[in-house]
Amino acid sequence: MNKEVQVQDLGLKDYKETWDFQESLFQKTVDLKIKNRREETRIDTPNHFLFVEHPHVYTLGKSGDQNNLLVDEAELAKKGAKFYKTNRGGDITYHGPGQIVGYPILDLDNFFTDIHKYLRFLEEMVILTLAEYGLKAERSKGETGVWLDVGTPFARKICAMGVRASRWVTMHGFALNVNSDLGYFDLMIPCGIKGKAVTSLNVELGKREIDTTEVKQKLLKHFSSLFEAKAVIEKTEV
């Protein structure tokens, strides 16, 4: 099993362009798995972890309700935002500047074949990272992602998640609000969950600017520990 993970930071990158790049990495891994089984070969499948920041964009999961987007595309255009229907799980999500988006493209045959465990590990990675900033983050029963003050009237979501998997190869991932403009969340019902607030790390820490490079390093540290993976930082070429 190959537990080496190639890590790339794509910087600020268009959502559709990044999605296409994800798809290419995903498909190469799936194709290699099919070839290995057909020819009974033993070529290691690769694992990838992409960090990226997107311009303003709203994405809808394959089982989501477009009514959870509260404005039309003309209004989105005025806000400088785009909208895409995607092939991930989950409902509607916003991505934008100041948010850390992570896309692990892993062959879970290299780690464990359990999607539920995979999602819980991604949540735990975020929970452990936020703990380093003094925040007690938690899971909310029946709601994928990471929250603060669960079970209180002040419950608020700080990290959304939505993944896709085929032949135990994953894509899409998580979006952690770090220095996000929370006003953009007012244009939707986040993840289709009414009556729940959204927050970001900088708001929780007194509205000071947070070093996103530092946050990524902490996320990667906890990811590597949880998945028992070796992270290899790659030069980005997309």
Residues acting as catalytic residues? 191
Distance CA 236, CA 9 (A): 6
Cα 144 off chain centre by: 11
Starting at the edge strand that comes first in sequence, how are the strands of the sheet with 92-95 ordered?
A: 82-85, 57-60, 92-95
H or E segment to which residue 100 belongs: strand 99-105
Read off the DSSP letter of residue 173. Answer: E
Closest-CA residue to 165 (of 4, 30, 14, 13): 30
Spatial neighbors of 114 by CB under 8 A, at least 6 apart, are 108
What are the distances in angstroms from CA 32 to CA 2, 27, 45, 47? 13, 8, 7, 12
